[in-house]
Every structure is written in C-alpha cells, then in structure tokens.
C-alpha cells in the first residue's frame, strides 16, 4: 500500500496515523479518465459505499465506485474500531420516541449489522484484528448504574435481548483497570482495526467485479435525462446512484449540507504497554461522560484512547 499524502482526503491527516502505519498492503486504484457506464455508481470509498458496491455486484450489477482520495481515509479508517450492538440511542430512548413495536424493529435492524459485518469478514477472509471480547460501558456516577439497570430491563422486556450484564465496581475493575462505579457489559460487542476492515471490503468488492477509482472527486451530479456523476477528468453514467460520502460530499447533494456539523474527535496510540495492560479482558471500553471517552487495546499491545 502506498502511503503518499496526496488526494482529496489527505488534508485530514490520516497519513501519519497508527491505522495507516499498520495497514495491510492493498493496491492503488487509478483515477477515472473519460466517460464510462454502469448500472450503479457509488460515491464514497468508506464502509457504506464499499459494502453497497460489494452487495450490488454480488447481485449481478455493474458497479463503479468513485473515491475522492484514498480508500478508507475518511471516517471509516480512523474511528475507534469498536463494535457496539444496537444504536446510539438506547432502548428506553427508542421506546419513548417511537413506541415499543417500532423501537424493536429499529433495534433488530441495527443489530443485523453485527451479523452482516461478521459474515463479510468470514466470507472474504478479511484480516482486521477482530476480537469478539465484548463492549463495556463504565459508569462515572452511581446514578449511571441505575440507568444501566433500567436499560437492561427495557432491552429484555421490549427488545427480547438479554446479552447484557450489570457489573459492580469491583467486577468492572477486573475487566478494565479504571475506578468506575459499575458498568454494563455487552458480551456481543468487540473491536477491530477499522482501516484494515475497510481495505478488506475494497478487496472483496473488486473481486466481485466492482471498478474502483481513487483520487476521483465527484464534482457534479445530474439526474436528468439520466444519472451522471462528473469528476474533473470524466463521468459515470448509470441507472442508479448511491451517495455514501457522508460529510465529505462537498456540496454534491445540497439537501445533505444542512445536516452536517463539525465535531472534534481524537485518538492517541501509546507505545506497546507490555505487562502494563490496563484492559485485562481486552474489551472495547467507553464511559457515560457527555464528552465520551472510548478506548481499547490494539493487536500489538498499545492503548488506543479517543474522545
């Protein structure tokens, strides 16, 4: 894999990250040159775009994927690498907002993502340091523990989901060396190397017939008389388009612009800790602070700490 710092997303600084430094070797993909046709054009080479392209190609569609910079160099290759079952909003929040029936449908849909990811990793032999050791949320205050108990009750009663365990402060300390007031342990969680997972998705997509073009910024989208996505050096005409660039669409779809806001997010990697391992259970960890801390151990024994 070439670690040059050029292209659309090079300014985001990932070239010097721990994830790039430990990334699996993957080939570069040429920029789009000229006009091509496809059944589906996907804009964005992160997990969403690559998974979309892979599954469409497996169903027989001709797929072209445009990535403005390097595959996985956006959010998909620089996140905390934590696999957390469910949604950002908890079970109680879902029930309050949508009622029990719709809340369960949303929870089930979100939980299916876990099975999908595990299936992709297994079917395509993606080496991404997957550890299905669980996810632990540490309680910063005693009231958080009471919230955990109510959440677990709602999960069991409404979602029919019982794979959570409420831990005392002492039990939590045995799993992670941090003085929490208690914790909730989600045993079906885990963690992985997010960039290597994304690169593995790209390899699987190419194997299924997807044509990937890196350093190909989508600058204009036409819908009439047919769908065409333009770059500075070419265009893709297709029957369908999926915009999977998230906050990096750069105004390609105006309806998305008003729903983007900046959030500062940082991760630091320590030197290998050796015997000083602070997470004996090797779980993914987060806490109940409003500005959340999240951390885990890497495969080479470093603490990856974000917030």
What percent of the chain stands above pLDDT 70?
A: 96
pLDDT score at 197: 98
pLDDT score of 174 more than 90:
yes
pLDDT score at 264: 82
User: In total, how many domains does the chain have?
Assistant: 2
pLDDT score at 10: 58
Does 115 share its domain with 164?
yes
Q: Is residue 2 in a domain?
A: no
Domain harbouring 98, CATH code = 3.30.9
Does 109 share its domain with 188?
yes
pLDDT score at 4: 41
pLDDT score of 3 more than 50:
no
User: Is the whole-model pTM more than 0.85?
Assistant: yes
Count of all residues that appear for the chain in the document = 307
Domain boundary among 257, 274, 289: 257
User: What are phi and psi for residue 195, nearest 5 degrees?
Assistant: -70, -40
Does 57 share its domain with 90?
no
Range of the domain at 62: 10-78+194-257
pLDDT score of 171 more than 70:
yes
Does 109 share its domain with 212?
no
Average pLDDT score, the chain: 94
pLDDT score of 1 more than 70:
no
Identify whether the C-beta of residue 200 lies closer than 8 Å to the C-beta of residue 192: no
pLDDT score of 9 more than 70:
no
Does 67 share its domain with 32?
yes
Residue 12 binned pLDDT confidence (cut-offs 50, 70, 90):
low
Q: What is the pLDDT of residues 70-84, one digit of tens each?
A: 999 999 999 999 999
Q: What is the pLDDT of residues 219-269, one digit of tens each?
A: 999 999 999 999 999 999 999 999 999 888 888 998 888 888 888 888 999
pLDDT score of 5 more than 80:
no
């Amino acid at each position: 894999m070439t670690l040059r710092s050029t292209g659309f997303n090079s300014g985001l600084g990932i070239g010097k990250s721990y994830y790039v430094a430990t990334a699996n070797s993957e080939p570069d993909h040429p920029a789009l040159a000229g006009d091509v046709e496809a059944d589906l054009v996907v804009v964005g080479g992160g997990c969403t775009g690559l998974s979309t392209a892979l599954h469409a190609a497996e169903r027989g569609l001709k797929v072209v994927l445009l990535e403005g910079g390097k595959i996985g160099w956006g959010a998909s290759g620089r996140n905390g690498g934590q696999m957390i079952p469910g949604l950002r909003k908890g079970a109680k929040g879902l029930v309050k907002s949508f009622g029990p029936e719709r809340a369960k449908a949303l929870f089930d849909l979100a939980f299916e993502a876990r099975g999908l990811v595990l299936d992709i990793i297994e079917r395509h032999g993606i080496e991404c340091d997957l550890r299905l050791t669980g996810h632990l949320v540490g309680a910063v205050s005693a009231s958080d523990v009471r919230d955990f108990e109510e959440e677990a009750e709602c999960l069991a009663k409404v979602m029919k989901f019982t794979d959570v365990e409420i831990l005392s402060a002492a039990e939590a300390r045995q799993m992670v060396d941090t003085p929490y007031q208690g914790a909730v342990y989600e045993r079906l969680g885990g963690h992985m190397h997010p960039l290597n997972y994304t690169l593995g998705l790209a390899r699987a997509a190419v194997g299924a017939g997807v044509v990937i073009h890196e350093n190909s910024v989508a600058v204009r989208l036409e819908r009439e008389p047919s769908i065409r996505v333009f770059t500075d050096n070419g265009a893709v005409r297709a029957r369908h388009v999926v915009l999977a660039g998230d906050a990096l669409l750069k105004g390609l779809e105006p309806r998305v612009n008003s729903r983007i806001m900046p959030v500062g997010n940082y991760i630091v990697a320590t030197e290998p800790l050796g015997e000083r391992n602070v997470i004996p259970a090797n779980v993914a960890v987060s806490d109940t602070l409003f500005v959340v801390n999240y951390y885990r151990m890497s495969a080479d024994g470093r603490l990856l700490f974000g917030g």
